[in-house]
Amino acid sequence: MRGRQCTCRPGDIRRYFGRISGPLLDRIDLQLTVERPDFDVVDGDGQPGEPSAAIARRVARARAVQAERFWVDHRNGHPKTNGRMTPQDLARFCRLDRAGRELLKQAYHRLGLSIRTHHRLLKVARTIADLDGGERIEADHLAEALRYRMLDLRRSGE
């Protein structure tokens, strides 16, 4: 709960999250902590968020980009999305610039990421880039994808 400090020791937190199986955790793409909103947001006096219609348009554009990217599968009646990319697709569509590659390398070593998690991060970063309208995955897209791996961060003690 917001405003309340956790009294757990770091070792206790790591031990608690250590109970979650690594292979199970690898399969969860988005791992977020959702904080309780401030009263002003709930009451309507806070800053308005992005309207649902605008979000829906961005999602529709990102899905159209993915349909175009994977047109061969789509034409055969098998629509494909970033989440269904194969390792060959990752090599083709998820190339990183130097900064992104270095960030991923650091995360891989510091967090002890599995190959499966590495691949899932690239898929999520590719989707974030699509939602952002970007043709390439930038380091910022990858950093956002990493922020969505909160359980990995907690397990590693970061």
* C-alpha span between 149 and 28 (Å, rounded): 8
pLDDT of 125 higher than 90: yes
Radius of gyration of the chain, Cα coordinates, nearest whole angstrom: 18
pLDDT at res. 15: 81
Residue 120 CA: distances (Å) to CA of 5, 12, 37, 75, 113 = 32, 28, 29, 25, 10
User: Does residue 62 contact residue 126 with C-beta atoms inside 8 Å?
Assistant: no
pLDDT at res. 1: 44
User: Which one is predicted more confidently, 119 or 16?
Assistant: 119
pLDDT at res. 38: 78
Residue 95: strand, helix, or coil = coil
Left, alpha or beta for 157 (phi > 0: left; psi -120 to 50: alpha)?
left
pLDDT at res. 10: 80
pTM of the prediction?
A: 0.75
pLDDT of 75 higher than 80: no
* C-alpha span between 13 and 153 (Å, rounded): 11
pLDDT in tens, 77-113: 666 889 989 999 999 999 898 999 999 999 999 888 8
pLDDT in tens, 29-53: 777 777 777 777 777 776 777 889 9
* C-alpha span between 126 and 90 (Å, rounded): 9
